[in-house]
Amino acid sequence: PKVGAGKMALLGLQHAFAMSCATILVPLLTGLDVGVALFAAGIGTLIFHLCTRGKMPTFLGSSFAFIAALQAVIGGDKANIPKAMGGIIVAGLFYVVLALLIRLFGSKFMDKLFPPVVRGVGIAIIGLNLASAAINNIQGNGITLFTPAYYWSWGIAIAVCLTAVILSSYGKGMVKMSSIVIALAAGYVLTLILTKTGLAPAALMDMGKIANHGWVEIPNFVLPQFDLKAIGMIAPIAIVTCVEHVGDVYANGAVVGKDFTDKPGLHRTMLGDGLATIAAGFIGGPPNTTYSENTAVLAVTGNYNPVTLRIAAVIAILISFFGKGIGAIETIPTPVLGGACIVLYGMIASVGLRTLVENHVDFTKNRNLCIAAVMFVLAIGGAVIGGPGFSISGMGLGIIVGIVLNLILPEQKESGLIAHEKDKSQIIEESK
């Protein structure tokens, strides 16, 4: 049915709201500019729609998968942001190359390169690498252990975490989808009340950041620098996120009732994601990725018109110039962020485990055990391979080694007796 302009605008606003929390969290956690992140998300979404001929209702926002790598490269020093941007551009180029390969050879070869054991463990590694960052938001940032600020920080974080868990687990519709946003807002108000009444230390919340911004401001755009070390730390993460992209395309298609891997084609969606990420790298924004949050909005509203996503993109671009709003976002207390991130980062790791379970990865096979074991230790242990000029480390190294091991280690063939027993048990299950 036809939808009027007013309702279309409201639907676009709803999509903008759905993407907002995750998109602004990435710059807050990595030291990037919030305004640039919103601008990059809006421009990236429009680029994606251009590449997919406007046929797919998708929004592109800041990717959580790159947070740990960006934190490692930037290290709290904004002077390192240009180096991070070089790594992001190379990550986007990986998508473009993959789009070309899919166009030439089809998408089947991706299953060979990225089997479930590599995908699942790779996603779990990303979440686990972020765990310390979540805790540091709560008890780091100059907070001395076992002082009043420490206990108040943990109390606020626990309240936010529990709110997010309860709403995510038992909420319905938009409440469930917006659980993190609601938890952040509740934590913000709680901290504001506690600090203003003098119950909690005033240092937990710096409202002066709003005064540092004007009403209208140009985002702090940054040009990239290409540093081999930064590229080695950031670009390999695209190996996992490109597989995540394929899953998002299938999920979006399942909701809408269309096969987007056929039309507009997986090569076009991959190209759109890659070019959006490259564009973000050229202006100082985080890498972009397709957002499942907005796919959920499609399912709830039943409106699949891609125009609503383009409206959301324009809204994101306009908000990126609202200085006072950006300042308010920057005042979100670190304990509030930490409480939300316990859930968010844990969910990323849990999605990796779910990938292993749903694809029935057989860990009775030592081959799969060994691939997972090597990936986990290299990624979480902080291994570095290379030299002073160029090196690959952490998550990127673990994921690359997992792909190589999967290709060189032959699949174990089951004996006839084991295969027969499996067939027999399957027949019994089906008869039940």
Q: What is the DSSP letter of 80?
A: G
Distance between CA atoms of residues 115 and 133, nearest Å:
29
Token duo for residue 430: 């089906």
Structure tokens belonging to residue 266: 């997986």
Query: In terms of Cα–Cα distance, which of 161, 75, 92, 70 is closest to 346?
Result: 161
Closest CA to 117 of 384, 348, 367, 318: 367
Task: Give the pLDDT mean for 393-416.
Answer: 81
Q: How confident is the model at residue 366 (pLDDT cuts 50, 70, 90)?
A: very high
Res 425 pLDDT > 70 = no
Which of the four pLDDT bands, split at 50, 70 and 90, describes residue 419? very low
- The predicted-structure confidence for 330-341, as pLDDT tens digits, reads as follows 888 889 988 988
pLDDT in tens, 182-223: 888 899 999 999 999 988 888 888 888 888 889 999 999 999
The whole-number average pLDDT for the span 284-313 is 84
Distance CA 381, CA 388 (A): 19
With 60 as the cut, is the pLDDT of residue 411 above it? yes
How would residue 2 be classed by pLDDT, with cut points 50, 70 and 90?
low
In this structure, the number of other CB atoms found within 10 A of the CB of residue 432 comes to: 5
Q: How far is CA 32 from the centre of its chain?
A: 15
Which pLDDT value is given to residue 300? 65
Rounded CA-CA distance 47/65 in Å is 21
pLDDT in tens, 90-101: 999 999 999 999
User: Can you tell me the mean pLDDT for 383-408?
Assistant: 84
Q: For residues 292 and 22, give the distance between their C-alpha atoms in angstroms, rounded to a whole number.
A: 11
- The predicted pLDDT at position 365 comes to 92
pLDDT, residue 208, reads 82
Of the pLDDT bands very low, low, confident and very high (cuts 50, 70, 90), residue 73 is very high
* Amino acid 430: pLDDT: 47
Write down the residue that tokens 């690959």 correspond to.
Answer: 392
What is the DSSP track for 45-58? Answer: HHHHHHHTTT-S--
Residues whose CB falls within 8 Å of the CB of residue 136, separated by 6 or more in sequence, listed in order: 338
* Those residues with Cβ within 8 angstroms of residue 369's Cβ, 6 or more apart along the chain or in another chain: 363
